[in-house]
Amino acid sequence: MLGSSVFMVSAALFYTRVVGLSVAQVGIGLGIGGLVGLLSGVPVGRVAMSLQGDVVLFALPLWIVGHTHVPRFVVGATGLMSTVLVVALQVRIGRHVTDSASAARAWRRSGWAFLAGMALMAVTGALPGGPAAVLVLAGVGVHTLGEILQAAGSFELRYALAPAHAQGQYSGVFGFGGGIAGVAAPALLGWLCISWGAPGWFLLGAVFVLTGSAVPWVVRRAGLESLAPADQPVLKTV
């Protein structure tokens, strides 16, 4: 995962150059940490998928202003549109995520929605203002659908993946991924979507697809799909 890779490289440089640990010590530490995360069923793709939260808020406004002929007022309209869609659809979509299997499917679908939305945004750089504005709004709508799906799946998995006696610890690790993404997002999105342009948008969308597609495998590995509700109750989204 892109976000996880950046974190691993940054951590390795910090502990070797600043703290003074040997390469072997850092490698063992990061390896153990990654193994623990994998065996515990924590979706490390949380870091990569959380980058999507800054697409509409950070990357898209810069893209509209600097690389398209879209009227500037559309920047504000995209944020308003995304908010309205979340308010209108979050509960309706979230009620269909009731267990780990449906949550994993929601993550997988969100990856494809992110790719579709970014494809629409990417092509606006070569279009006149009117058509480009329509595609920007359409892209935001599709992207927001992916955001809703991912949020619904996240609320379920952050509890379903954790044993009953360690909900706090697992939830903390899960939330930590979002924090890493929040720090890395401006630099990564600026590099991919603004510096690279359209190819960067498509590449980022592909990262989301690959990450979302891996989540069902993680859930199956954790053995959660075979659990009966009586054995392990799950927290339903509302």
In a domain, 18, yes or no: no
> In the 8-state DSSP scheme, what is residue 237?
P
In a domain, 179, yes or no: yes
pLDDT at 67 over 60: yes
Q: What is the pLDDT of residues 115-159, one digit of tens each?
A: 999 999 999 998 999 999 999 999 999 999 999 999 999 888 878
Query: Looking up tokens 């504005």, which residue turns up?
Result: 133
CA dihedral in degrees (133, 136, 140, 141; nearest 10)?
60
Whether residue 204 contacts residue 58, with contact meaning beta carbons closer than 8 Å, is answered with: no
Q: What confidence score (pLDDT) does residue 92 get? A: 94
In a domain, 228, yes or no: no
The closest alpha carbon to 55, from 183, 132, 143, belongs to 143
In a domain, 3, yes or no: no
21's CB contacts (< 8 A; 6+ apart) are: 15, 29
Average pLDDT in the chain: 78
Q: Which structure tokens are listed for 27?
A: 């490698």
Helices 73-94 and 129-160, axial angle in degrees (round to 10):
40
Percentage of the chain exceeding pLDDT 90:
44
The closest alpha carbon to 207, from 229, 183, 233, 181, belongs to 181
> In the 8-state DSSP scheme, what is residue 235?
P
Q: What is the pLDDT of residues 188-235, one digit of tens each?
A: 899 989 999 999 999 999 989 988 888 888 888 776 444 434 444 444
Q: Cα–Cα distances in Å, from 39 out to 28, 33, 34, 36, 50? A: 16, 10, 9, 5, 21
Q: What confidence score (pLDDT) does residue 225 get? A: 44
In a domain, 126, yes or no: yes
Domain, as residue range, for 112: 43-222
**CATH number of the CATH domain containing 215:** 1.20.1250.20
Q: Report the number of distinct structural domains present in the chain.
A: 1
Residue 1 pLDDT grade (very low, low, confident, very high; cuts 50, 70, 90): very low
Phi, psi of 7 (to 5 degrees): -65, -45
In a domain, 163, yes or no: yes
CA 46 to chain centre: 6
Q: What is the pTM of this model?
A: 0.74
In a domain, 22, yes or no: no
In a domain, 74, yes or no: yes
Q: What confidence score (pLDDT) does residue 17 get? A: 58
- Report the pLDDT averaged over residues 26-51: 53
Beta strand extents in 142-181 (DSSP E only): none
Q: What confidence score (pLDDT) does residue 23 get? A: 57
Q: Which structure tokens are listed for 196?
A: 């690279």
